[in-house]
Amino acid sequence: MNQGKRVGIVGAGNVGATVAYSLAMLGSCHEIILRDNKIDVAKGKALDMSQAASAVRSHTIVTVADDMSDLTNCDVIVVTAGSPRLPGMSRDDLLMINAKITKEVIEGVAKYSPDAIVIMVSNPLDAMTYVALKESGFERSRVIGMAGILDSSRMASFIQEKLGYGGGQIRASVMGGHGDDMVPLPRYSTVAGVPLEDLLTPSEISEIVARTRSGGAEIVSHLKTGSAYYAPAKSTAIMVEAILRDTKQIHPCAVYLEGEYGYSNVVSGVPVMLGANGAEKIIEVTLDDTERAMFKNSCNSVSSLIDTLNRNNFFKGE
């Protein structure tokens, strides 16, 4: 079904390489093309993955793009390239550095794979998705940020840990930006269809919500020298699969809003229907006053990052 499909991955670090490995094991596409500044490292990983694909009788081959011009005619391009936040670096510093990297990558994507659907994974996620959309000139359905699936899976994992049962039957729901202001939705979270509020106390649910918000930081505190990559990569691969297979499944993803939920000119995580054309439909769920206030706070946080980019004349090419 996916014979001939090509997936480009820009940034072959832990997240990018694990996305590639996950897709290669599934045989999701004919070719995966890695692009990284460290060409030899990318080549070594590509060989290793191609051999792993052969071991499971997957027809996927993994190759390397020496230059962005080799990333041609891709159906989907995943962008994980970016700088981590280093000691002494402010959030605004990181924002400007990664916005410049994203801009450069997206110029290449728009030139060499003009029909691709772009999945952004670089942080700060929502702002980078905004940059990618503005710099590509693509319609908003083709530039999507990965965060909601990851945050929802973290919440589901914490629910399972707290309950001690229900594994595989937990559906957790998280909206909003990918960060401290994300909006976990216990009211829309269930275990085999049973509302979470019927299974846990309000204080237990509050504990899960707080832990979900700091899910990434908790992993960093253990790893010391890096951040999470298995769950972010698998969450990204789920999005790629939904697009390549045209599943029309609903997943929470970061998209540019044009009036949905009452917001415009901002990127935020909301439920979308993923298919061959990207985010084909935005689903508007009913939020109560508390949830609306949290979503507003989350959108305001992303807007402030966009304002910082505008203050620095980022979109004027300066």
Token pair for 144: 């999507």
Measured distance CA(268)–CA(274) in Å, rounded: 16
Residue of 275, 270, 43 whose CA lies nearest to 148: 270
CA torsion sign for 122, 127, 129, 135 is negative
Task: Provide the 8-state DSSP code for 73.
Answer: S
Query: Tokens 């980019």 sit at which residue?
Result: 309
H helix or E strand, kind and range, residue 150: helix 148-163
Rounded CA separation 265/228 (Å): 30
What is the C-alpha to C-alpha distance for residues 66 and 38, in angstroms, rounded to an integer? 10
Any idea what DSSP says for residue 281? E
Does residue 178 have an active-site annotation? yes
Task: Evaluate whether 50 touches 93 at the Cβ level (below 8 Å).
Answer: no
Which of 153, 157, 160 shows the shortest CA–CA distance to 199? 160
From the candidates 59, 178, 222, 251, give the one annotated as an active-site residue: 178
DSSP string for residues in 158-210: HHHHHHS--TT-EE--EES-SSTT-EE-GGG-EETTEEGGGTS-HHHHHHHHH
What SS3 class is residue 56? coil
Mind telling me the catalytic residues? 178
